[in-house]
Structure 1
Amino acid sequence: MTKNVVERIDDLVKIKTILISVSDKSGLGTFIPGLLEINPDIIILSTGGTYSRIKEILGPYSDRNLKQVSDYTGQAETQGGLVKTLDFKIYLGLLTETYNSDHQDDLRRTHALPIDMVVVNLYPFVQTIARENVSVENARGNIDIGGPTMIRAAAKNFIRVASVVDPKSYEGILAALKTKDGALGLKERYSLASKAFEHTAQYDRAIADYLAGLSKKDVESCYKTGE
């Protein structure tokens, strides 16, 4: 099998489709209207509480610009939102390359959109384990799976996709989009990717350190085991 090697990319990528799923919703009230002011035709894919917050921000424009991920993929969320974004159509949209004809064929075949930006921050694992008497189960429940996967996919494909993990980045992103007719350059995407991988590395390190610090008794005392 020949490994795909990318030789041609675009410096400027216009932001047309964004996937937003955040625990920290601060800044969305300014960021979302700012995005639509730059490009009124932007499509926002979202889930759960983030979808509800963006719908509230957009008001009458929500029907035009906002879609639930479950409606887009055709797959309902699992109970408790355990699986929302782990879907082929999502990751094809994140990882596809502009000048790869096979990727473009896959997009047409699945009626998928290339996703140009991911705005994701993760379940508050560190904050959770800092609470007094937190249970192993409560900590386990705050280990994010879909979020880090989307961040890593978007950051890996910085040649086309912007990966945004920090609300403090919103202002600079809007400023860059305004000066480049709704597009982000390779320099910005690469910088965001570097920050994204640092973010997931710190997140995984916190989880690994927490699990390593548990005793067998800590884990066993949290659960009833079947026979």
Structure 2
Amino acid sequence: MEILSTGGTAKTLRENGLKVLDVSEYTGFPEMLDGRVKTLHPKIHGALLGIRDNPEHARKMKEHGIIPIDMVVVNLYPFEATVARPNCTLEEAIENIDIGGPSMLRAAAKNYPYVTVIVDPADYPPVLDEMKKTGGSVSRETNFRLAKKVYALTAKYDAAITQYLAGK
């Protein structure tokens, strides 16, 4: 198993003794624009969206050095908590709108037959238990259940952004 991560999360994982490959190392492209662009890259989204048993997808992935990503675990920027602060400015709110996280989540959820996507820390233990019982895999049924959570979360996240901006 290899862990692919960005900035602060990668640092925390390393501090806890885990080996981590930085997304920028994998993509060959640095984080940029004050961290606004980290995971928005074809090597990430191709790795999430590639249909594993489609020969043309497999050929293109190999041609472009895209390694399939089997699991995505994302905690979105805390938009609602940020805008709940009494002194929150519009600029702070805007900087706490996650772009890469929802993009990865939606890509992974779309490809649920091949990718496990976790947005709720309450799902960590049951997914780990399933992986222990199956030698590291997660069932399509579990992946579908988790994918549905992604769309519920991203809809709620976008609704919170819409509501906040409507009041400005």
TM-score range relative to shorter protein: over 0.9
* Mapped partners of 1:114, 1:71: distance in 2: 16
Give the number of the structure with larger relative contact order, counting CA–CA contacts within 8 Å between residues 6 or more apart: 1
Over 2 Å off, 4+ runs: none
The residue number in structure 2 matching 1:111 is 65
Aligned to 2:36: 82
Where structure 2 has 5 or more consecutive residues not aligned to the other structure, the ranges are none
SS at match of 1:58: coil
| Matching residue of 1:46 | 5
> Which whole-Å CA distance do the structure 2 matches of 1:74 and 1:50 have between them?
19
Q: Report the equivalent of 2:94.
A: 140
Distance 1:55 1:76 in 2: 19
* Equivalent position of 2:16 in the other structure: 57
Name the aligned partner's letter for residue 70 of structure 2: D
Q: 1:164: Cα distance to partner?
A: 0.5
Computing the radius of gyration from Cα coordinates, the structure with the larger value is: 1
Aligned residues: 168
Equivalent residue letter for 1:50: T
Matched residue SS, 1:45: strand
**How do residues 108-187 of structure 1 correspond to structure 2 at under 5 angstroms?**
108-187=62-141
SS at match of 1:118: strand
How far off is 1:134 after superposition? Answer: 1.0
**Which AA in structure 1 matches 2:51?**
E
Q: Alignment partner of 1:163: what SS?
A: strand
Q: What is the distance in 2 between the residues matched to 1:174 and 1:109? A: 32
Amino acid at match of 2:81: Q
Matches within 5 A, 1:11-30: none
Identity %: 46
Q: Following the alignment from structure 2 to structure 1, what is the Cα–Cα distance between the partners of residues 119 and 96?
A: 17
Partners in 1 of 2:150 and 2:75 — Cα distance?
10
Identify unmatched segments of 5+ residues in structure 1: 1-41, 215-227
> For residues 12-54 of structure 1, what are the alpha-carbon distances to aligned partners after superposition, in whole Å with 9 as ceiling and x for unaligned?
xxxxxxxxxxxxxxxxxxxxxxxxxxxxxx0110001000011
Which residue does 1:100 correspond to in 2?
Answer: 54
How many Å separate the matches in 2 of 1:51 and 1:155?
23
Report the Cα distance in structure 2 between the residues aligned to 1:88 and 1:52, rounded to whole angstroms: 24
Matched AA of 2:15 = E
Cα RMSD (Å) of the superposition? 0.9
1:191 aligns with 2:150: no
